[in-house]
Amino acid sequence: MSRILVTSTLPGDGKSVVAAGIASALRATGATVRLVRIDDGDSAVGDAQQFARINGVRGASEPVGAGEVASDTDHTVIEASSGEGLEIDRIVLVVRHGEADDDTVTRTLAELHPNAVVVNGVPEHGGPAALERVAGLGGNGVAAIPQDRHLAAPTVRDIAPALDGALSGEEELFDEASRDLVIGPVSAHEGMDYFRKYPDKTLITRHDRIDIALGALDYEPLCLILAGGEPTLPYVAQRAERESFALITTSLTTLEVVEAIGPLYGNSAFVGERKLATAIELVGASLAAHELA
Cα separation of 47 and 16, whole Å?
7
pLDDT of the residue at 93:
95
Contacts of 170 (CB under 8 A, 6+ apart): 240, 243, 244, 245, 246
- Give start and end residues of each alpha helix (H) in the chain: 15-28, 44-51, 102-112, 127-136, 149-152, 156-162, 188-197, 210-217, 235-242, 254-261, 273-286
pLDDT of the residue at 188:
64
Which amino acid type is present at position 167? L
Which amino acid type is present at position 224? L
Q: Are 76 and 2 in contact (CB under 8 A)?
A: yes
How many CB atoms neighbour CB 199 within 10 A?
12
3-state class of 282 per DSSP? Answer: helix
pLDDT in tens, 221-279: 999 999 998 766 677 777 777 778 899 999 999 999 999 999 999 888 899 999 999 99
Q: What is the pLDDT along the chain (293 residues), one digit of tens a residue?
A: 799 999 999 998 999 999 999 999 999 999 999 999 999 888 899 999 999 999 999 987 899 898 898 889 999 999 999 888 899 999 999 999 989 999 999 999 999 999 999 999 998 888 788 888 888 888 877 788 999 999 999 999 999 999 999 998 889 999 999 999 999 887 666 667 788 888 899 999 988 887 888 888 888 899 999 999 876 667 777 777 777 889 999 999 999 999 999 999 988 889 999 999 999 999 988 876 446 54
User: CATH number of 2-150+270-291: 2.40.50.140, 3.40.50.300, 3.40.1370.10, 2.60.40.1080?
Assistant: 3.40.50.300
pTM of the model: 0.88
Question: In the CATH hierarchy, which top-level class contains the domain 154-264?
Answer: alpha beta
How many CB atoms neighbour CB 216 within 10 A?
26
Percent of the residues in the chain that have a pLDDT greater than 90, as a whole number: 58
Domain ranges of the chain: 2-150+270-291, 154-264
Cα separation of 166 and 76, whole Å?
42
